[in-house]
């Protein structure tokens, strides 16, 4: 019985040919399925290949009785419920590198078109006009470009900007000073970037932290005449604030390829302002990029169905299926330790030290390290990082990873200890498994704790005085936030202490700030796993 593959969005003929030449695969191309139709037919398929058009919802996945893999020909996974797929054991893969050059080139094209008023001059010429003075432009040479997010695309944009002899500033919490120097750019904090740049280009995923990362307050910091480019994700730039900044004269212009609503509403001011250069989400729309990502995803899906190594999986490392069942609890523990670290530390990450202790040494440790680094990078980089590229991305950012092994067992039969060093501080977390399947965090810095790394966690550093727990509990209770579990640790009686709470829901910033302002509270962090 051949494996059945459904392609529900348009895919290049070269990619389809890769699948169709395999006798063990039966390939169906149907790009006109409604959500209900997809839900009804998916039960018969082993693999599903999509672009951005098909919504692979939890409902669809629950109806997929045979589905082993969902392949997204592209980077973004907004249209795939990865959590639902993971729970059902469905592998989700994407193609994070296939559109790097096309998007970088489009960004630079937009920056040039914005600087030289290309679109307005073109429209004027086609109206039979000849107005040279009206479209006076500005040079890139000698200007300062601020790049927010120095991943693959941001790095390629920076390289091209340097060829124009621009000064390049970059903000990326995972970029080390040494790596920035190697690239010939300056690693700065976000406020410095906003204040000193003549152009700002954003290259981050859309997360809670990056949504409206450029808004009224940020425009207020910038130079008069700043120019903004967004070819990353709609919503990173607050469009309403952008319109106001352009109308006030603070912003000289902007170039957008992505929008908060796609397509933008017809009455939106965004599409009516002359000082905006707009394209309809064309960053990855080159013939080369479309073919590359399609071929990449076709090869990956084929290999998974034929039980070969998994490439670019966002929810599963490259491990033999039998071994994966054994080590999966450790992999999850490592990923969660990494995610906790990235949400607790401050500053640019320079070094990650990992010590494996005890019985865990009988396994190949490389998948654990990969999972840990993926967990550490994901809160910022989201779908652009996976189990295959996480170590490469860390290396690209100048993060030094050191592995250590200790066979001698002390308090636990197995222990994973991770220390992250930044340009500002060091933070360590140790974790283990109880009954070989239940993950626990057992130490944070010098504090011994016992907490489950899952869901929403509030990590509070405080002074060990009576009434602290009641004080925190009252604030959370007043805001309808239920505590599901708690753990405490302290250096000594009356000294520094830690409180770790598992809560049932997200904690708004204003509630965290209320806790932070309370007496004897030193620091409060929200961790989302």
Give me the active site residues, please: 233, 262, 281
Residues ≥6 apart with Cβ < 8 Å to 524: 458, 459, 460, 461, 512, 515, 516
Residues ≥6 apart with Cβ < 8 Å to 486: 451, 469, 499, 500, 501, 502
The CA distance from 103 to 118, in Å, is 19
Q: How many residues does the chain have?
A: 529
| Dihedral sign computed on CA atoms, order 41, 312, 184, 207 | positive
List Cβ<8 Å contacts ≥24 apart for 252-256: 252/225, 252/226, 252/227, 253/114, 253/227, 253/228, 253/277, 254/114, 254/227, 254/228, 254/229, 254/230, 255/110, 255/111, 255/113, 255/114, 255/227, 255/228, 255/229, 255/230, 255/231, 256/229, 256/230
Between the CA of residue 264 and those of 330, 442, 514, 526, what are the distances in Å?
A: 45, 49, 38, 34
Between the CA of residue 426 and those of 177, 181, 420, 423, 494, what are the distances in Å?
A: 16, 22, 6, 9, 24
Query: Exposed, middle or buried: residue 126 (CB in 10 Å: 0-12, 13-18, 19+)?
Result: exposed
Residues ≥6 apart with Cβ < 8 Å to 32: none
Query: Exposed, middle or buried: residue 446 (CB in 10 Å: 0-12, 13-18, 19+)?
Result: exposed
CA neighbor of 475 nearest in space, from 435, 518, 423 = 518
DSSP per-residue string spanning 175-219: --HHHHHHHT-EE--HHHHHHH-SEEEE-----TTTTTSBSHHHH
Query: Exposed, middle or buried: residue 338 (CB in 10 Å: 0-12, 13-18, 19+)?
Result: buried
The answer to whether the CB of 183 falls within 8 A of the CB of 155 is: yes
């Amino acid at each position: 019985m051949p494996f059945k593959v459904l392609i529900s969005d348009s895919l290049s003929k070269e990619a389809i040919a890769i699948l169709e030449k395999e006798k063990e695969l039966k390939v169906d191309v149907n790009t006109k399925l409604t959500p209900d139709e997809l839900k009804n037919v998916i039960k018969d398929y082993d693999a599903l290949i999509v672009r951005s058009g098909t919504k692979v919802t939890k409902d669809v996945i629950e109806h997929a009785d045979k589905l082993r893999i969902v392949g997204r020909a592209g980077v973004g996974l907004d249209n795939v419920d990865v959590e639902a797929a993971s729970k059902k054991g469905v592998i989700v893969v994407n193609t994070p590198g296939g559109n790097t050059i096309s998007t970088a080139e489009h960004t630079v094209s937009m920056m040039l078109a914005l600087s030289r008023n290309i679109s307005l001059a073109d429209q004027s010429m086609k109206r039979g006009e000849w107005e040279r003075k009206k479209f006076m432009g500005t040079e890139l040479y000698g200007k300062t470009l601020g790049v927010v997010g120095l991943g693959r695309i941001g790095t390629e944009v920076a390289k091209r900007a340097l060829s124009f002899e621009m000064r390049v500033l970059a903000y990326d919490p995972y970029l080390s000073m040494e790596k920035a120097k190697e690239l010939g750019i300056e690693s700065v904090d976000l406020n410095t970037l906003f204040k000193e740049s003549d152009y700002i280009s954003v290259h981050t995923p859309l997360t809670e932290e990056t949504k409206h990362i450029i808004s009224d307050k940020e425009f207020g910091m910038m130079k008069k005449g700043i120019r903004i480019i967004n070819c990353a994700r709609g919503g990173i730039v607050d469009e309403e604030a952008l319109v106001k900044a352009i109308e006030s004269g603070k912003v000289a212009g902007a170039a957008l390829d992505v929008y908060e609503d796609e397509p933008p509403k017809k009455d939106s001011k965004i599409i009516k302002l002359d000082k905006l250069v707009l394209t309809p989400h064309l960053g990855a729309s080159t013939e080369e990029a479309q073919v590359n990502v399609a071929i990449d995803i076709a090869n990956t899906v084929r290999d998974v169905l034929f039980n070969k190594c998994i490439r670019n999986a966002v929810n599963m490392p490259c491990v033999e299926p039998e071994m994966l069942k054994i080590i999966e609890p450790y992999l999850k523990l490592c990923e969660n330790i990494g995610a906790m670290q990235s949400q607790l530390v401050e500053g640019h990450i320079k070094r990650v030290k990992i010590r494996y202790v005890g019985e865990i040494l009988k396994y190949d440790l490389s998948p654990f390290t990969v999972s840990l680094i993926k967990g550490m990078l994901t809160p910022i980089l989201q779908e652009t990082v996976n189990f295959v590229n996480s170590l490469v991305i860390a290396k690209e950012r100048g993060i030094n990873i050191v592995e250590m092994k200790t066979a001698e067992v002390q308090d636990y039969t197995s222990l994973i200890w991770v220390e992250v060093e930044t340009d500002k501080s060091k933070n360590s977390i140790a974790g283990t498994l109880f009954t070989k399947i239940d993950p626990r965090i057992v130490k944070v810095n010098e504090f011994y704790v016992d907490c489950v790394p899952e869901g929403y966690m509030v990590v509070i550093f405080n002074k060990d005085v009576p009434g602290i727990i009641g004080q925190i509990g009252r604030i959370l209770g007043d805001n309808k936030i239920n505590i599901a579990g708690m753990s405490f640790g302290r250096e000594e009686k009356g000294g520094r202490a830690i409180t770790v709470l598992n809560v049932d829901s997200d904690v708004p910033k204003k509630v965290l700030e209320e806790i932070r302002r309370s007496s004897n509270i030193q620091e409060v962090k929200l961790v989302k796993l």
